[in-house]
Structure formats: C-alpha cells, structure tokens
Structure 1
Amino acid sequence: MLLDVHPQLLRALRAVFETGSLTAASERLGFTQSALSKQIAALEAAAGTRLFDRGPRGVAPTAAGARLARRAAAILDQYEVAQRELEDLPVPLGGRIALGGFPTTALRLVPRTIARVRTDHPSIEIEFLESSTPVQIRRLRAGRLDLAILASGEDLPGWDLTGIEVDPLPSGTLMLAVGRRHRLAGVRRVPVTELAQEEWIVGRGARGEPQFGAWPTVSEPRVVAELGDWSARFGFVAAGLGITTIPRLAATTLPDGIVCVEVDDPGWAGRSMGLAWIGSLTGPAAAVRATLIEEARLIAEGRSGASGRSHRDSAR
C-alpha cells in the first residue's frame, strides 16, 4: 500500500514525471535505468495501477501517474523541510561507528562523509575499514562493522544478504578513464563497439573479490596489466599504456593527464551500491547513515557537497 512507500520511490516518480524519460531520470538520480525501472514497477504495484505509458520516444504519465506525481512532489517538499528541521535540532550524538567500504568508496564518498560527520556531530567517531564486499558481509555478520557499503551488479556474484538490511545508494554510471592523449580523450561518449581493440589496465585482488576490470560486455579484452592500487592504475593510464573503468563516484579524483569518457552500452545494466547493517541502528549509526546517503546523492548529481556548489565530470 502507498502508506508504506519509501521516499526514494517518490523521488523516482517525480524525476520520471518531470523529465518524461527513464534515461534522463536515471541520470538525474544517479541510478541505472534498470534500477529506476524496478523502482517505478514497485510503486505501480503499491498503487495498484499503471502510472506511466511507455512509448518509443519516452514515457507519458497516466491520469493516476500525473496526480500521484503532483502529490509526491508536495510530500517530498514537506519531507525535506522536516528533515532540515530535525537536522537543526541541537541533539548531540556521540559514539564510535565502524564503517566498511570497498576501495573505490575511499576515493571520495567516505572521506566526504567522515568530514561532514565531524562537523555536524563532533562527538561521533568513525573508524573506516576498507575491504571487498564479501569481506564486509562477513564482518557485518561477525559484529565487527556497524555499517557497510556493498557493491552489486550483473557482473558480480549474488551475495547472501539474509538478515541484512540494505538501503540503495545512488552510484552514478561506470565510465572510462583514458590518458589525455588517447584517441577517445576528446569525446564525451563512445559506443561500446569502439572498445573491442583497446588495451586494459584492470584491478587485482584476492580470488573471488570483485574488481574494476575491462568494460563488462567487451568479450576477450586485451589486459596488459593487473594492479591492486588505484594510483598505480592511474599511472599506467596516464602513460598511455591502456585504459581502465572507473565509477562516476570517483571520477573527480582523477590525477592530471587522465580524463573520463562515458560509454553507450545498452547491453549492460550497470552496478549499484547499497548501505547495509544488521538489526536496529543506534542514534550515531543512523546519523552516519543519513549523512552517507546524502553525500552519495550529491556526488551522483554532480554537486560538490553540503555547500551545493556544482561541478561537471567530462572529457576536457
């Protein structure tokens, strides 16, 4: 029933209604189109009626969809007002929170989250433990983590999340990192068919742990180096020895000599992130969760942080 609908589903409805396109809405929210379609389907199931008609040129709201979208916009406005009012309440929170994340999250999302928590909740101390998703799941079950940022996707194993609560996190799209002198450095978006002959710099880790490798749908990629450290991968890319994949989550942390290129690949549904925990969250853990979700949203929208300044990730 609609009373149980998560605010994220209402945000998805508003974005699709305002843009008239699943593609544009997914880019605005930082989700894959597949994930956004599932959210709309879940909302339609809760509403008990179709909310959008799909056509070759986009989507159009049904009468029910238009009415619900207008209500959703008003609800979200009030929700955001309430959230700001709660944030303004002088309720000090304190404690130590163990946060886990896979290596890419340490490039931007986690540092921004920790910095903002230190400002907003100076009595909360965050211990960050970097590890792969399967290791984090084991640590969650062992009680060694309070919160964990997990990765999922069609190219990754299906993790056993029984008994684990997971909130979806906006993660943006997967992109290419190429050297500034590479043939693709001057384009904003490239079809996946152009990548067949490229040489790849890929990640390396323990067996069974997910890595950022060649583009997921490229068959028989030519891998020239496997490196466990992001800085080493970037060094190879900047030297023109190959290209690598990188999530938009980390796209603005690239060193000089490297630019990002988007990929047009209708055959790949993308990866996603989730924030996981077990049981009830303490006040400090809930505060960290709220901050992390907000920072992930700002990054996916191309905004610099709590100040709201904008930036754009593009090939220069």
Structure 2
Amino acid sequence: MAELTLVGLRVVVEVARAGSFSAAAARLGYTQSAVSRQVAVTEKVAETPLFERHARGVRPTAAGEALVRHASRVLDGVATATQELAGMRDRLVIGGFPTAAAVLLPRAIARLTAAHPGLQVRLTEASTPAQLLALRRGRLEVAVLATGDGLPEYDLDGLRLTELRGGGGAGVAVADTHPFAVRDRVEPAELADQAWVVGARVGDAPEFGAWPGIAEPVISFAARDWPTRLGLVAAGLGIALVPGLAAPAMPRGVRWVPVRGDGLGRTAWTATKPDPSAAAQAMVRALEEELGSWATP
C-alpha cells in the first residue's frame, strides 16, 4: 500500500505557499515536472485532489488545506529532530560554491577546528540552488552562497544572511605566458578580444561565462569543473573569469589578475536557519575572520 512521503509532503506545502507549481519548483530547486509528479503521487495516496487551478496559479482544496496543516507540523518536527541529532554528534555540515570551497572554506574550517578541536566538520561543494535546498531540508547548517550579476534571483526568505566582505573582487585567470600575466591589473575594455574558457552548465547550476558586457565573446572551450578550466587556461587556450575568493588557489602555470573597477556585481553570503547552532555561528565568524585576514597587508 502506498504511503505519504516526506518529499511529497514538502512539495505539497511549498506549492500551497508559493501558489504555483513553477514557483514551488524554483524554491525547492526541482524541475516543474518533478513537482507535478510529486503532487500527483500524493493525490493518488490521498485519493482526492489537493489543488485546484485558477487564473494566477493553483490553490489548495479543502483536503489540500488539511494536509498542508498536518504536513507543516510533521516537517517542522523532522527538521527539529535533524538539528538535535546533529548537535548530539558534535558535527557541523557546511556547503560552499566551488570557488569558495577552493581556499576560503578550508582555511576558515582550519580556524574553527583549531579553536574547537572536538568539532567534526564536513564540507559539501555544491551550487547555490543545491545548497539552499539542502539548508532548508536540514542537511546543511551553513551555506556559502553567491548572488548578483548573471545569477538567478534565489529565494532567501526566512534565512539568516551575513555578507562576506572582502576576497579581492573578480578577475581573470591567464597562462603565465599570457601578456596579462605581468600586469598588476587589466582594464575591462581589454577583455573583449580574448578567447574564453567558460563553465559548462550542469542542470540548474549557474555557470561562469565571459566577462559581463562583452557583446559577442569568443568561447574557445567550455568545461564543467574548475580544474579542467584552469588546465585549459594553463595550456594557453583561453582566459577564464575567476572570483577573487579563488585567487590563492591558482595552479602552476596560471596567474590571477584583477580587473580594474570589477564590473562583476556579485556578493558572497553565509546563510543559516534563523536560529543557528553555536557551531554554525562559530563557522560564520571564522569565515569573516579569514576574509578579514586577507584584507590585512
């Protein structure tokens, strides 16, 4: 006999809150078809429609409202239990987008564990949408996110956000044989005729393209992973847009050069639940302290 699932309940609650399948999908990090399937399966188990359509989306039926009411309590209970169990294990799970995970997060974790040697920390490298989903599900306690130019508008409602200031802005990774490699910085106008190594999109994960504002950038290669992209750069096959957070992690044969004015309007944040654990708060402080040390001559 089929039973209600936590995934199905979470989807039903989010659809009711968002007012449409597409909005719920965006908040959860799912595709719209996946949300539709979960609602259909849950309606089959409930043996009654849970939503009815109207001009601007959907709204719960009477049965849907009843299920949302009970499901919200169940999901809150699961989240509380997950948080308590994590605290009992003295373990902290944090996430970060790839360029933050390259240098900033490892160094901040080292700071944290030096101050709290009994704390076990696990790092998950993931895109911002994947982190938000994991954070809302209780699988992460701290997420390091990126927002701004070229990135989607993420649903950050209900989260506790702290801006991470510093990190050197943005720049380009070039081969050490490239003319830019001997420069202290380059001008945005000089980037227009360069060949670019860009990120290959994976699902809904944002990709790093060419420098913003270049009308028709020349794309030489697209690669999913940062090591591959930087390997292509080292071979002289193009240059790549790289945030300053990853500048200290450039491999042999690659140099990071800042771009004057930094026309890339992106911001890094930490995100936690509204009532983060003491360990999560300590992690946020360690990240701020680590970035602060970068700004100190």
1:3-53 deviation per Cα after TM superposition (whole angstroms, max 9, x unaligned) = xxxxxxxxxxxxxxxxxxxxxxxxxxxxxxxxxxxxxxxxxxxxxxxxxxx
The answer on 1:166 being equivalent to 2:168 is no
CA deviation after TM superposition for structure 1 residue 272, in Å: 0.8
Q: State how far apart, in whole Å, the 1-side matches of 2:264 and 2:110 are.
A: 32
The answer on 1:230 being equivalent to 2:234 is no
Contact 2:170 / 2:264 at 8 angstroms: preserved in 1? no
CA deviation after TM superposition for structure 1 residue 94, in Å: 8.0
Question: In the alignment, which residue of structure 2 is the partner of 1:153?
Answer: 148
Q: State how far apart, in whole Å, the 1-side matches of 2:89 and 2:137 are.
A: 23
CA deviation after TM superposition for structure 1 residue 298, in Å: 2.0
Q: State how far apart, in whole Å, the 1-side matches of 2:150 and 2:200 are.
A: 16
Which of 268, 272, 276 is the equivalent residue of 2:267? 272
Which of 107, 116, 126 is the equivalent residue of 2:121? 126
Which of 123, 133, 138 is the equivalent residue of 1:138? 133
After superposition, the CA RMSD in angstroms is 1.8
The answer on 1:183 being equivalent to 2:179 is yes
Q: State how far apart, in whole Å, the 2-side matches of 1:218 and 1:263 are.
A: 14
Q: Which has the larger radius of gyration?
A: 2
User: For this pair of structures, how many residues does the alignment match?
Assistant: 209
1:89-137 deviation per Cα after TM superposition (whole angstroms, max 9, x unaligned) = xxxx981111011111121011111212221101111111111001111
Q: State how far apart, in whole Å, the 2-side matches of 1:285 and 1:185 are.
A: 39
Question: In the alignment, which residue of structure 2 is the partner of 1:206?
Answer: 202
Contact 1:133 / 1:150 at 8 angstroms: preserved in 2? yes
Contact 1:97 / 1:125 at 8 angstroms: preserved in 2? yes
CA deviation after TM superposition for structure 1 residue 211, in Å: 2.3
Q: State how far apart, in whole Å, the 2-side matches of 1:292 and 1:190 are.
A: 29
1:162 counterpart letter in structure 2: D
1:230 counterpart letter in structure 2: W
SS at match of 1:251: helix
The answer on 1:260 being equivalent to 2:256 is yes
Question: In the alignment, which residue of structure 2 is the partner of 1:239?
Answer: 235
1:259-301 deviation per Cα after TM superposition (whole angstroms, max 9, x unaligned) = 12221257x35211000011212222211121122112223x1
Q: State how far apart, in whole Å, the 1-side matches of 2:199 and 2:287 are.
A: 25
TM-score w.r.t. the length of structure 1 is 0.63
2:136 counterpart letter in structure 1: R
The answer on 1:282 being equivalent to 2:277 is yes
Q: 1:94 to 1:112 in 2, by over 3 A?
A: farther
Q: State how far apart, in whole Å, the 2-side matches of 1:265 and 1:124 are.
A: 40
Question: In the alignment, which residue of structure 2 is the partner of 1:112?
Answer: 107
CA deviation after TM superposition for structure 1 residue 172, in Å: 2.6
Q: 1:239 to 1:176 in 2, by over 3 A?
A: same
TM-score w.r.t. the length of structure 2 is 0.66
Q: Which runs of 4+ in 1 moved over 4 A?
A: none
Identity over aligned residues, as a percent? 40
Contact 1:94 / 1:121 at 8 angstroms: preserved in 2? no
Q: State how far apart, in whole Å, the 2-side matches of 1:251 and 1:175 are.
A: 8
